[in-house]
Amino acid sequence: MASATAKDFDLGEFTFPRGWFMIAEATELDNGPLAVRFFGRDLALYRGESGKVVLLDAYCPHMGTHLTASQSASIVLNTEQIEGDSIRCPYHGWRFNPQGQVDDIPYFDGPCPKGGKIHSHPVVEQLGAILMWHDPEGGDPDYDAPNLDAWDDPQWVNGSYDHLGEIPIHPQEIIDNMADAHHLGPTHGAPCEYFENEYDGHKYYQRQGGFHRMYNAYLTTSTWYTGPGMLISKQRFGEQNGYEFIFHTPVEDGLVKAWHNNLSLAPNATPSDEDIANAKMAQEGALAAFAQDFDIWTNKRPALTIMALPVERSFRRGRTWYRQFYNPRSDAAAIHEKLDGKHHLSNLPEPGELAQELEQSMVG
């Protein structure tokens, strides 16, 4: 079923949103440079000898060669492509520094052409992922990429990322889940007993709780997006505490790539084999719940407009928040002024002490 585009949703001036986005699991760079494609453009991703991660537009300005797609060139086979934190083109050996400027041509003694420059994109490595700052206006990051103290706490068991591949849906419909209190029962078997959204600039929060059939326990969650593509959710089901990560990044307009991960708090300061096995089971359960959304998304037509009932006004607010990333950053303040604060639904209670205790007690 064909997906919709940013223009179909009337999101704003830009085809792709501004923000931090996952583009690879960090361990993928252990085997050398990667050719990746996001935001409708080909990109070259590599780790320098210092450990620095570099992301450049993919094509050498000399003759249009993809810097990291070749697997058979001699300098690739002999691991000679990376020099310091710079990379050489596999065709003629032109070397580009992390800023994307050509700084050495092996067969030419003259000055390197100033026009021999490739765009370099801001990247950080954290949460076991490579995160890219994408900005249609070409500006520096407006805010820090999301991070958690728990990631480096040895009592929290890190999962490896579930690579969920590409899904033909516009990310607007993924973001809609944050406002959608009423799908949690029919889709996930966990009807809300309370629900709240909150907006704070580039952050979008959801707080909810209810009995979950699959876990056979009460599930309490405090979930937030940092920008338009990176969701982290604090979760407590029964006596277990965890974090769930759901990251999605546009590949083309109407096509996204998604990843999933979990952190689980072990009962022992040094996690035992049993603790690690239980964490893996918790991640598998969370992924199974997320797969229920995937199943819905791949079998629906685009919801360009929502026939929202009076108890579903949260959809409109969520879509308004999302528009800030598709328009000049100068427009964002007006959206913040309109939305910032907590919002509730008329047919569901507000969060109580249980939700507040979850937010205060967990690391992050």
Q: How many domains does the chain have?
A: 2
263 is in which domain, residue-wise? 149-361
Q: Are residues 211 and 308 in the same domain?
A: yes
Among the ranges given (18-22, 328-332, 352-356), the one the predictor scored with the smallest mean pLDDT: 352-356
Task: Note the pTM of the prediction, 2 decimals.
Answer: 0.95
Q: For residue 119, give Cα distances in angstroms to 20, 105, 243.
A: 17, 18, 35
Residue-wise pLDDT for 171-219, tens only, equals 999 999 999 999 999 999 999 999 999 999 999 999 999 988 887 889 9
7 occurs within a structural domain: no
Instruction: Assess contact for 11 and 322: CB atoms under 8 A.
Output: yes
278 occurs within a structural domain: yes
Question: Which tokens belong to 156?
Answer: 């929290």
Rounded mean pLDDT of the chain? 94
CATH code of residue 105:
2.102.10.10
Q: What's the confidence (pLDDT) of residue 362?
A: 56
**DSSP code, position 191:** -
Which residues are bridge partners to 217 per DSSP? 212
pLDDT at 274 over 80: yes
Q: What's the whole-number mean pLDDT along residues 45-50?
A: 98
10 occurs within a structural domain: no
Q: How far apart are CA 203 and CA 333, in angstroms?
A: 13
